[in-house]
Amino acid sequence: MLYDDNPTLVGIAKEIDESKQGEVFFNAQPAESADTAAGLFYIESYGCQMNFSDSEIVGSILAESGYKPTRDLELADLILINTCSIREKAEETVRKRLRLFDKIKKQRPGTLVGVLGCMAERLKTKFLEEEKLVDLVVGPDAYRDLPKLVAGAEDGDKGINVFLSREETYADINPLRLDSNGVAAFISIMRGCDNMCSFCVVPFTRGRERSRDAFSIVAEAQELYERGYREVTLLGQNVDSYKWENPENGEIVNFAHLLERVALVHPDLRVRFSTSHPKDITDEVLHTIARHENICNYIHLPVQSGNSRILELMNRTYDREWYMDRVEAIYRIIPDCAISSDIITGFCSETEEEHQDTLSMIEWANYSMSYMFFYSERPGTLAARKFPDDISMDVKKRRLNEIIRLQNHVSLKHNKADIGKTFKVLIEGDSKKSDQEFKGRNSQNKMVVFPKAEGYRPGDYVFVKVKEASSATLIGEITPQ
Ligand code: 5AD
Ligand code: SF4
């Protein structure tokens, strides 16, 4: 998954995925007055796209029981924060926000504050009992319980449910689309993770992996298309291990089948997905992408490290050669595919030579972009229990800077190679800098900016010829096709 909590995640990564990162606020029509509803709620999300998608599920559950969304913190009767535990930095950010919410609570007694998501499981007692900062703590599998817990909290109970389920997929819930541009939406296809990468807290905070009913996924995509959306991103911690058995006839739907079914909803509905795991991505998936024009030619394939010994310590279950074989297969089967990565530097015992292997992988794989982090030890993980966090912060930061510098250089080269090419771009809205320009993405997930032209609006496809490129953006002009 893609995460946003790290100030070192500069430049390209932030730029390219700007619409999918940062805080999220409701964009639904605000209530005219609170007395038409059970109350007003406000929600902020941190961390991965899955958290953003979960906030939309929470929105839908609360709306069902009469709550209405507000974008104004000062008006909210219920303030929710959907949290991330992936790195220490993410947790620190949330703590700061909670202290602010606490001040609001003191000014406006009766306001309830709830912590949702990955920190809920990790820090439940701390929040509720020691720090007395919040009224509700609700884990990622317990959102259906929210209305009941909120009602209890209104009567003075401390509401807590961090039960992790083996079955919950929220398959029947129609998410309330938040802060949406009306063009692109996320669809959650599975939850949890069974991989146990040694650095990662996700299997502990989100529980066991389970796949959602394929019919409900296709129906959600269909409904989004009918409402005018033109892009869906299928989300899971490891989409390649998606597997759903139809209880009616025992038929098994794997990720390749699912991709195809969603692609067949409509040729004008673009399909993206995240995240792929190098150990699980199959040629069948690659051929499915190649066969359908509307499945985007872009794969986020986190390498984490370019060195086989470190990969083994990370429990990634592949080595450098395996990863390279998968990259070769991608470029062979989908020649114009862009590949991006997640990289962790300064993992336990990493040497300078091993760091060089990561640098050489960035160049060899020719990533269009990467999300780059230094290792942050997370309590309870395999690595925290087994290996000392023995790379100094200075070395971690220096290695990270080398990685960022190289990736910026590779991204710039990647983008410059697009000058003169024409791409089909889905218009998402105004560019960040000017309302005279549109922004949109090409199939390779690159942000393209171009002057507006009469008759085009967000949700339309246009052909754009690239004139200039930075490491983050392609700049071009609409061209007749
Ligand atoms: N420290 C640093 N980065 C981490 N990630 C996951 N856990 C950690 C950690 N403990 C990164 C990985 C993952 C991405 C979502 O976050 O690169 O792919
Ligand atoms: Fe964490 Fe690894 Fe699962 Fe990704 S695949 S969520 S890094 S355990």
From residue 414, how far is each of 9, 322, 388, 407 by CA, in Å?
19, 24, 37, 10
Which of 104-113, 114-123, 276-285 has the largest mean confidence? 276-285
- Higher-scoring residue by pLDDT: 431, 1: 431
Residue 479 predicted with pLDDT over 50: yes
Residue 4 predicted with pLDDT over 60: no
Residues 278 and 400 in one domain: yes
> What's the CA gap between 1 and 234, in Å, rounded?
11
Query: Where a domain ends, among 416, 450, 469?
Result: 416
Ligand 1 in contact with 67 (CB < 6 A)?
no
Query: Where a domain ends, among 416, 438, 459?
Result: 416
> What's the CA gap between 291 and 452, in Å, rounded?
32
CATH number at residue 468: 2.40.50.140
Residues 268 and 317 in one domain: yes
Best residue among 17, 84, 199 to mutate for probing ligand 1's pocket (most ligand atoms within 8 Å of CB) is 199
> What pLDDT shows up at residue 25?
35
Residue that is written with structure tokens 């024009």 in the block: 293
Average pLDDT over residues 57-63: 96
Please indicate, yes or no, if residue 122 is contained in any of the structural domains.
no
Residues 385 and 462 in one domain: no
Ligand 2 in contact with 300 (CB < 6 A)?
no
Residues 329 and 204 in one domain: yes
Ligand 1 in contact with 1 (CB < 6 A)?
yes
Ligand 2 in contact with 195 (CB < 6 A)?
yes
Ligand 1 in contact with 46 (CB < 6 A)?
no
**How do residues 369-397 score in pLDDT, each as one tens digit?**
999 999 999 999 999 999 999 999 999 99
Please indicate, yes or no, if residue 158 is contained in any of the structural domains.
no
> What pLDDT shows up at residue 97?
93
Average pLDDT over residues 178-192: 93
> What pLDDT shows up at residue 344?
98
Average pLDDT over residues 169-195: 93
- Helices 255-263 + 214-226 axis angle, to 10: 20
CA of 406 to the centre of ligand 2 (A): 25
pLDDT above 70 coverage of the chain, percent? 92
Best residue among 195, 242, 371 to mutate for probing ligand 2's pocket (most ligand atoms within 8 Å of CB) is 195
**Tally of domains within the chain:** 2
User: What is the SS3 string spanning 324-353?
Assistant: HHHHHHHHHHCCCCEEEEEEEECCCCCCHH
CA of 376 to the centre of ligand 1 (A): 8
Ligand 2 in contact with 238 (CB < 6 A)?
yes
| Nearest ligand to residue 304 Cα | 1
pLDDT band at 133, cuts 50/70/90? confident
CA angle 362, 365, 368 (to 5 degrees): 75
CA of 237 to the centre of ligand 2 (A): 6
CA of 155 to the centre of ligand 2 (A): 39
Please indicate, yes or no, if residue 95 is contained in any of the structural domains.
no
> What pLDDT shows up at residue 37?
59
Please indicate, yes or no, if residue 167 is contained in any of the structural domains.
no
Closest CA to 230 of 177, 184, 292, 181: 184
> What pLDDT shows up at residue 12?
22
pLDDT band at 208, cuts 50/70/90? very high
| Nearest ligand to residue 341 Cα | 1
Please indicate, yes or no, if residue 178 is contained in any of the structural domains.
no
Residue 67 predicted with pLDDT over 90: yes
Please indicate, yes or no, if residue 326 is contained in any of the structural domains.
yes
Ligand 1 in contact with 200 (CB < 6 A)?
yes
Please indicate, yes or no, if residue 63 is contained in any of the structural domains.
no
> What pLDDT shows up at residue 130?
66
Residues 313 and 404 in one domain: yes
Please indicate, yes or no, if residue 325 is contained in any of the structural domains.
yes
CATH number at residue 207: 3.80.30.20
Residues 307 and 322 in one domain: yes
> What's the CA gap between 366 and 466, in Å, rounded?
20
Residues 430 and 295 in one domain: no
Ligand 1 in contact with 3 (CB < 6 A)?
yes
Q: Decide: 212 and 169 in contact? Cβ < 8 Å.
A: yes
Query: Where a domain ends, among 373, 395, 416?
Result: 416
**How do residues 415-459 score in pLDDT, each as one tens digit?**
999 999 999 999 999 999 999 999 999 999 999 999 999 999 999
Lowest mean pLDDT among 96-100, 124-128, 337-341: 124-128
Q: Decide: 116 and 143 in contact? Cβ < 8 Å.
A: yes
Residues 307 and 429 in one domain: no
Residue 32 predicted with pLDDT over 50: no
> What pLDDT shows up at residue 90?
87
Residue 460: domain span: 422-478
Residues 428 and 322 in one domain: no
Residues 404 and 265 in one domain: yes
Q: Decide: 199 and 180 in contact? Cβ < 8 Å.
A: no
Residues 323 and 428 in one domain: no
Taking all residues of the chain, what is their mean pLDDT, rounded to a whole number? 90
Q: Which pair of tokens denotes residue 51?
A: 């958290």
Looking from the CA of residue 376, the nearest atom of ligand 1 is 1
> What's the CA gap between 90 and 87, in Å, rounded?
6
DSSP result, 290-325? HH-TTB-SEEE---B-S-HHHHHHTT-S--HHHHHH
- The answer to whether the bond into 275 is cis (omega within 30° of 0) is yes
Residues 439 and 463 in one domain: yes
Average pLDDT over residues 458-467: 98
